[in-house]
Amino acid sequence: MTSTSPIRSWAKALSIFLFFPDWVNHIELQWEEPRQERFLNSLAAFSRLILFNPRGMGPSDPIPITDSPTVELWMDDARAVLDTVGSERPALFGAGAGGVATMLFAATYPERVRALAVVNSTARGTRAPDYPFGIPPEMLEWQRQLLAEQWGTTSHAEAMLPVLAPEDASDERLRAWLPRYARAAFSPGMAAAAQRLLFGIDIRDALPAIQAPTLVIHRAGIPFPLPVEHGRYLAEHIAGAVYKELPGVGYAFWAGDAQAILDEVEEFLTGSRSVAPPDRVLATVLFTDIVGSTATAAELGDRRWKELIREHEGIIRRELSRYRGREIHTTGDGVLATFDGPARAIRCAVAIRDAVRETSLEIRAGLHTGEIELQGADVAGIAVHIGARVSALAGPSEILVSRTVVDLVAGSGLEFEDRGSHVLKGVPGEWQIFSLVA
């Protein structure tokens, strides 16, 4: 099963990435876990990201348990996916066991790979005299027994979370999602077969054949069974590999500080890192509310009141659009909006007040300019609190502003009257308030 994740702009896609997932993966259910969703969408922000499930995994075609999956089959699936979507020479990105498949693919088909990135991966699963940091045989047998008896159960997820995502292990949503995800990704028998494959394979002899520019990322604090020595070994045995050892203890690529991994991959692939979108900006906040709304609603009755509210909201949205305001949310009888200029915000407040008067309603409004915090579609911060408190001081049809707003609109032709200094609830100090002159 194949999917192409959403990207912000096709024209801005800088590369094509085939993402080879870890051995437990479901191409659809992965989007239900917010950490995975954020990681994949962030990866797709600087690439055309191709996702797929190899045979026997997730919703892809099943294979008989007697025919154990092989890395060769998974490489064939990757090649078929690339041919289908018309990608001749993409970059490959493999996580965990997916890194094993991508490294073998890069060594086998060097003409098909432009660049290679692997995170928290390994060249060999089990311990050997010349590979002392692999899993000892007795521990591998214990893991096999755990898979056979508890695969996809809550107790199995509880046992895995301290390795997969210890920083996020207390997240109840993650704890509920993980067992369901595991059951959807593999049957118990197929999980055991995949584990035999992954822990039995040894690709050390293939590493010198990798020709593509390679980035190896490993989290420094991952405990057994994948300590940092695995990543160091890969970097030492792939010619010219760039090695990045990052803080963190989670084996799962999406766990903990996943952004650090994304930053390294983006810089390796494109030569630069994206600037994170700002979470604090200077803005003018506008609060409005209907004067005497409770009494008016009781007087008019529910039906007429609902009609007036719809008309009121239509006026607000029309004027916000006209004056480039951004509606944050409505309060039933008012609105919180932000503007990138205080003069436009004041004129919008005037337009709303005058238009609403024609519906027999009156509003009050308050404005303040300051630094606000962007929280998705919402805003927060002291500037928002000040705007709300200023609005609460206004009388019917009055538009009040803070001293900051008055100073910023000097020369605009707007006139104000001083309403004195006020203590605003929950806001330190005294604040000088002004009323817009009609």
Total residue count of the chain as it appears in this document: 438
- Whether the pLDDT of residue 172 is over 90: the answer is no
Asked if residue 50 lies in contact with residue 17, where contact means CB atoms within 8 angstroms, the answer is yes
Mean pLDDT of 143-160: 83
Radius of gyration, CA atoms only, the chain: 29
Per-residue pLDDT band for 275 (boundaries 50, 70, 90) equals low
> In the chain, what are the domains?
2-270 (3.40.50.1820), 280-436 (3.30.70.1230)
pLDDT in tens, 326-385: 999 887 788 999 999 999 999 999 999 999 999 888 999 999 999 999 887 889 999 999
pTM of the model: 0.64
Give pLDDT, residue 66.
Answer: 62
Phi and psi at residue 281, in whole multiples of 5°? -140, 160
| Mean pLDDT across the chain | 88
* Res. 249: pLDDT tops 90: yes
Residue 10 has pLDDT above 70, yes or no: no
- Asked if residues 372 and 326 have their Cβ atoms less than 8 Å apart, the reply is no
For residue 132, with 0-12 CB atoms within 10 Å meaning exposed, 13-18 middle and 19 or more buried, which class applies? Answer: exposed
H-helix or E-strand spanning residue 85? helix 71-85
Q: Is the pLDDT of residue 6 over 50?
A: no
On whether the CB atoms of residues 403 and 382 are closer than 8 A, the answer is no
pLDDT at 65: 62
Q: What backbone torsions phi and psi does residue 206 show, to the nearest 5 degrees? A: -85, -20
Between 178 and 333, the more confident residue is 178
Per-residue pLDDT at 146 exceeds 80 = no
> Is residue 7's pLDDT more than 50?
no
Rounded CA separation 45/180 (Å): 28
